[in-house]
Amino acid sequence: MNKKILFQLLAATSALLLTSCGPNYIFKKDYPIANKTWLYRDSLNFEVAIEDTASLYTIFLDLTHSDDFASENAYINIFTKSPDGKRTKNLLSVEMADKTGQWRNGSSSVHLPLQENVHFQQQGNYIFTIAQNNRIDSLQMIESVGFKVEKLP
């Protein structure tokens, strides 16, 4: 076989393997935070269309902050509105740094599974609203907030 054809075949196979091994995100969105200041009133909406109610999912929250972020953690409210209009609320403490002040995972980006093996009961649009819930109105040095939903194999 021609070496050029063999090389192209190997390259195509490698590319296919690399892309099929990654997460299967059905939803992924990031909001940049203006002036690195996340206010109480600046809630963020993520609308996720769920069509497959037989599968399991993992829901992730991504927070990116500057190295000047002054707290060990951040408090986040997560509101979930299902297609039938029911709404739930969860308060989450996101550990940004350990007790010694070292950033979680050694970086200023937190990729946190909020819920694993989630089974959505209804087809339709789910609206996830995320709001900061710290003691102060403006949470400084937050650069972006992201939300991802991964469909599990």
pLDDT values of the chain reduced to their tens digit, one per residue, 153 residues: 554 443 344 444 444 444 456 789 999 999 999 999 999 899 999 999 999 999 999 999 999 888 788 777 889 999 999 999 999 999 998 887 777 767 765 556 788 899 999 999 999 999 999 999 988 888 899 999 999 999 999
What's the pLDDT score for residue 20?
A: 53
What's the pLDDT score for residue 4?
A: 44
pTM of the model: 0.80
**Buried/exposed code over 34-44 (b: 16+ C-beta within 10 A; e: otherwise):** eebebeeebeb
Give the integer Cα–Cα distance in Å for 126 and 70: 33
What's the pLDDT score for residue 19?
A: 45
**SS3 assignment, position 152:** coil
Distance of CA 133 to the CA centre of its chain: 18
